[in-house]
Structure 1
């Protein structure tokens, strides 16, 4: 694939890979085992210095990078850990993207420069306890009270929520679904952390509990009306996953390859056995198909011709195949595959979450199915 990339794209990929090797890989196994990311704010500021936050956005201190440059960044971050890529995706492709695309000039000026620098962390409040795949049925409400808005409801599985400085919260109003920019120190808002996760453990996840949160009139995102607004943000984040998931798969395949050359059984390296080579060959084929698909979608995004159905196509294929590569790599490592000495099981458990968030595989199958047939199977 390198022959298809520009010198600038190769340079960004190399820079992010070096940063991840220096700043994430030495500590990520311990963070994962402890179920916390103690250096999250430090990492956020460093990612800001790299230009990785709100990377494709223009102005306000954002890098204004191309879609493929952003994709390669996601690839390298997820090769280190899905939780780090999630931090970047939620910050840039969800919270910052929503403010940049739908916000007022005042909202952009207040939040985007500090978020691009990693000095302020954002989160995106859409998913609710009873409404994941069907966000249009959300129960969180925003009602007018004089010139103010009052928000009541609950969001869950929100990456960055417990540490966020600002939340983009989606709520039902008399005018339909609207988005709100909510500083997290607003009275009535709490963000308890979700513990006891067995996936994305090196990532901070929580709830947003809104108990009569009073906001001024200018807290609403003026350009966001209807469910299409948050779904458009999700499409941007899903694109990053199309690139990120193969990064996790690449890490696992590289580990399996190295292990197969050095692990001996029956008097020779296991990489010399036909069954092991068949596994390695199949994994390599699926990984490189996924990378080429990601690159193709990236070029389409840069040309302004990428459709939501094509993003669903990419997320469905690449996450599903990446997870299978991780599982197969684990079999090459045998019992050692479950040890945190190696990254394989960590990547595999992380991808179980990636398989679900930003649209489950089943939802993306239905998106592609509707595109193929013209028939909507989402509702019976």
Structure 2
């Protein structure tokens, strides 16, 4: 990301005429995705001849703020130019009334289960922003209160984990055909006893060691179920079982007009599969304490994909950052709309999760 001194230096080098032309070019590009030419600018009300406008455009190009992406007389902003526009020109406030209404209504309808709320948040961001919605679930640092395995149809079982702070999270596991209900009960009782009052990270390694040494005195089927539950919850893995919800990948294809654009989207899709790396990107909001924007090469995970990432933290009942959410999309995102939208969604998600825990009294 460009630092404030660089932005200030660039602003000081632009006179009012250059600023007006630069703003028109960037706003035109963000609206259409196409380079903006001198004739378009003259028709937009710039009181200069096309030749004079072209001279200013050449100066802006020399500064690294504009580029000619195709064989065209028009210009489009570079990533450096977009950063200058966002930091030096863009004005944004709260989301629109309609955006707020959709975010409020849809998140309220999602209920209070964490996974449902986070999944809906990812859907909302994807739909309203026109990119892919990213939501990182909270790290599971709370102590476990209870574990239960519930039989489902089709050879599945629902593993329910309840933490001391009131979170209830579910996972669906495959179980062997004909596994008796007593094995499900025994597996749940065993894990509840071993994990109660401890975090998954603290206890899972010890439980696995006990299983391997056969000190648990469980039958083979129950042992396999306990091991499957531990593996699925990932209690001793990096991130302590955190997950990443990505919705709206198809939106990223809509702006891919040329072969090179499709190549960048394919690369981006590959990067989206690297869950741990994405979680690390979202975690940068913990230090920033607010919305962060990465444009193009500023993002070390997607430096060649031509994408922008906007992320914001959400907080739990103790007003500590517990997760993050955001949007990834083309660099011509509507920043004035999307930045406040991401920030507002993060606040609403945090309020819902905080209210849920407070209501449970845990």
Shorter-chain TM-score: which interval? under 0.3
Instruction: Provide the TM-score with structure 1 as the length reference.
Output: 0.24
Which has the larger Rg? 2
**Larger helix proportion of the pair:** 1
Instruction: Provide the TM-score with structure 2 as the length reference.
Output: 0.25
